[in-house]
Amino acid sequence: MLVALAVIACAASPAPTPATATRATVAVAAFDPATGELQPPRDYRSWVFLTSGFQMGYGPAALAAAAGGVGSYDTVFVEPAAHDAFAATGVWPDRTLFVLEIRTSEHTGSIVTTGHYQTDVMAVEAELKDARIPGGWGYFAFDADASGPRGPTKRLPETEACYSCHAANGAVEHTFTQFYPTLLPIARAHGTVRRDFVGIPPSVVEVHARIVADGFAAARAMIDETAVKWPEASLVREVSLNRLGYELVREKRTDAALEVFADVVRRFPASANAWDSLAETLEGAGKLAEARDATDHGLSVIAQMEAGGRRDAIEKALRERAARLAK
């Protein structure tokens, strides 16, 4: 029950475990394999933060809250020494303990208008990698209050959904490392991501790295594949691709930036903002005739934008550029 995710169907076929996987040199989790009891880790909030998810919980507490119209956040912590071992090997060492803290989500009050923030503790759960457990992994749900677990708890029966879900869908062994953004690249570098992992959409950072390494044509194929496989992915939104283009401008990779912005207007031809970004970069590169053309395109579609301050600012920039390039 450690981390929930959208339902994914794939066969369990983990990548081979390298010989470098060793027991973490940490204060070993107080787990008694004879009784199946795990003592509550009292200091887990001082451990390494791995990720936080919104509305991803599938345990009883999160599901009950969702049924009542209350959202939840989950935050994952892992012992520092286990984290360091993974960073060095791409494998979680034996006796690694993860703690999942689930809190109520609130979306009103103070300055909040569209966001969410965490409040009360709903539940505290744990995942333990331990060779003494059949299958090597155990899952636990603590009785908890606002301060954390109230006391020890027994390992959940292997009939619980967490066992099969983690076994089938974890990117690295039985863990959802795909949701740990600082650790997934490490696992990929060490070759420990399971071969049958269904994947997640690439990030802007990954596409940027592909451009630098292999050129924009390779990156465009990556974006096109994402648009087909995950049409709702953040990467294929205009704002993400625009950010990629401006990062390349900042790095003085102007030719690559122009390829990105040209691709953005191809994908979003009715966006005045996309045309403005292309025109701005063309003007900066001294390609004035092309900049004029892009500016004219932007002005031709500006009326399609929702009225407001953002539209006014983009229209002002386009008209000022048009006047400047007309001289």
Q: What is the pLDDT of residues 243-260, one digit of tens each?
A: 999 999 999 999 999 999
Residue 222 per-residue DSSP state = H
pLDDT of residue 121: 81
pLDDT of residue 68: 73
Residue 112 has pLDDT above 90, yes or no: no
CA end-to-end span of the chain: 66
CATH code 1.25.40.10 region(s) in the chain: 204-326
- Rounded to the nearest integer, the mean pLDDT of the chain is 88
DSSP of 298-313: HHHHGGGSPSSHHHHH
pLDDT of residue 105: 74
| Assigned CATH class of 31-190 | alpha beta
14-33 per-position pLDDT tens digit: 343 443 444 444 445 699 99
In the block, residue with structure tokens 């390609």 = 287
Domain 204-326 has CATH 1.25.40.10: yes
Q: pLDDT class for 5, splitting at 50, 70, 90?
A: very low
114-171 per-position pLDDT tens digit: 887 776 888 899 999 999 999 999 999 999 888 889 899 999 999 998 999 999 999 9
Q: Identify which of 135, 141, 190, 186 has the alpha carbon closest to the alpha carbon of residue 158.
A: 135
Between the alpha carbon of residue 251 and those of residues 188, 227, 286, the distances in Å are: 26, 26, 17
CATH code 3.50.70.20 region(s) in the chain: 31-190
How many angstroms separate the CA atoms of 108 and 70, rounded? 12
